[in-house]
């Protein structure tokens, strides 16, 4: 039986309360892989995290080797093969986006340096904490040991939301929806590319004939789904975010022709500026390694949508230039 050492940041938070038991149960790395969890939190949250660790212990997961609880990033990232950067500073009342980016920039500078110094040679890093695209760019910029291909950020939650909405509209099972890609930023400017999606093997625009709904309701509903959940339950997405992270890592580790969406460092694909971090369609070519799928065709509406989200990402890069 193989084993993997996994670091999770923000480990006492809502997302991780849903995430950690599922990792320990084998849902992320499979039934034949033992897991060691190294959990990182800020000092004021350590007592809460110790309670989470007790619960993990009380579950008696056969695949859970051990759990480390710490507020020291160097200890948390030591020897880790997967670093799941879930924690980030949330946006407070009246806070400008530029302030949020800079506050999180300081966090991800430190974590990026610590990963570079302490993680295992085969390490892969996934950024979940928002604004995840730019946080990922900052963390990756601090590593002189791992190239940008080792870093990804999560847009799988947006992909899952889009798949579920298309399936509901078409009256089919979610497994009938494929090639659903998310382009750009994890923000309301994202472009859920319905034009290249397939439903039961047919173009989504053939199956769903109401193209006004696709443009005017589907796209903004995917982009603003997180806000709708906050309005409904008073808290941000947790279980669905944890599920999406499991999907992200499993897809990244599973060789397949299936297309999934992740945030990667742009090399100029689809008109994105080189060096920004944008959601794109990829396929996994070996465990932990992917290639960007570059054969999606776009009309003027799609190109304009991608240009809009690209402009936002370029603006974010300018706001955090001092950290890069």
CATH architecture of 156-323: Alpha-Beta Complex (3.90)
Across 200-215, b (16+ Cβ under 10 Å) vs e yields eeeebeebbeeeeebe
The parts of the chain modelled with pLDDT lower than 50 are: none
Q: Is 36 left (phi over 0), alpha (psi -120 to 50) or beta?
A: beta
Query: What pLDDT sits at residue 212?
Result: 97
Query: What pLDDT sits at residue 91?
Result: 76
The domain segmentation of the chain, as residue ranges, is 2-153, 156-323
Contact 256, 284 (CB under 8 A): yes
Share of the chain above pLDDT 90, in %: 94
Contact 153, 133 (CB under 8 A): yes
Contact 134, 313 (CB under 8 A): yes
In angstroms, the CA 309 to CA 317 distance is 13
Residues 21, 22, 26, CA angle at the centre, nearest 5°?
A: 115
Has 248 been annotated as catalytic?
A: no
Query: What pLDDT sits at residue 235?
Result: 85
Query: What pLDDT sits at residue 95?
Result: 74
* Domain range 2-153, CATH class: alpha beta
Q: What is the pLDDT of residues 224-247, one digit of tens each?
A: 998 899 899 988 899 999 999 999
């Amino acid at each position: 039986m193989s084993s993997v050492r996994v670091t999770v940041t923000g480990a006492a938070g809502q997302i991780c309360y849903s995430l950690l038991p599922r990792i320990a149960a084998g849902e992320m790395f499979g039934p034949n892989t033992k897991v060691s969890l190294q959990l990182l939190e800020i000092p004021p949250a350590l007592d809460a995290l110790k309670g989470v660790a007790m619960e993990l212990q009380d579950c008696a997961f056969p695949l859970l080797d051990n759990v480390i609880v710490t507020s020291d990033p160097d200890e948390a990232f030591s020897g880790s093969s997967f670093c799941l950067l879930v924690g980030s500073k949330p946006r407070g009342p009246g806070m400008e986006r530029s302030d949020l980016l800079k506050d999180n920039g300081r966090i991800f500078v430190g974590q990026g340096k610590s990963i570079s110094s302490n993680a295992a040679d085969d390490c892969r890093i996934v950024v979940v904490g928002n604004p995840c695209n730019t946080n990922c760019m900052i963390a990756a910029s601090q590593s002189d040991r791992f190239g940008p291909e080792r870093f990804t950020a999560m847009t799988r939650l947006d992909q899952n939301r889009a798949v579920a909405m298309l399936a509901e509209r078409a009256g089919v099972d979610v497994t009938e929806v494929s090639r659903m890609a998310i382009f750009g930023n994890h923000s309301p400017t994202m472009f859920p590319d319905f034009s290249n999606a397939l439903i039961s093997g047919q173009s989504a625009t053939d199956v769903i004939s109401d193209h006004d709904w696709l443009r005017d309701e589907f796209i903004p509903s995917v982009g603003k789904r997180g806000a709708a959940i906050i309005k409904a339950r008073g808290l941000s997405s947790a279980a669905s975010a944890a599920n999406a992270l499991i999907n992200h890592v499993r897809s990244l580790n599973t060789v397949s022709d299936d297309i999934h969406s992740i945030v990667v460092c742009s090399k100029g694909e689809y008109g994105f500026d080189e060096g920004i971090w944008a959601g794109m369609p990829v396929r996994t070519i070996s465990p932990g390694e992917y290639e960007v799928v570059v054969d999606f065709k776009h009309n003027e509406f799609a190109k304009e949508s991608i240009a809009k989200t690209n402009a936002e990402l370029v603006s974010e890069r300018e706001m955090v230039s001092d950290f890069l």
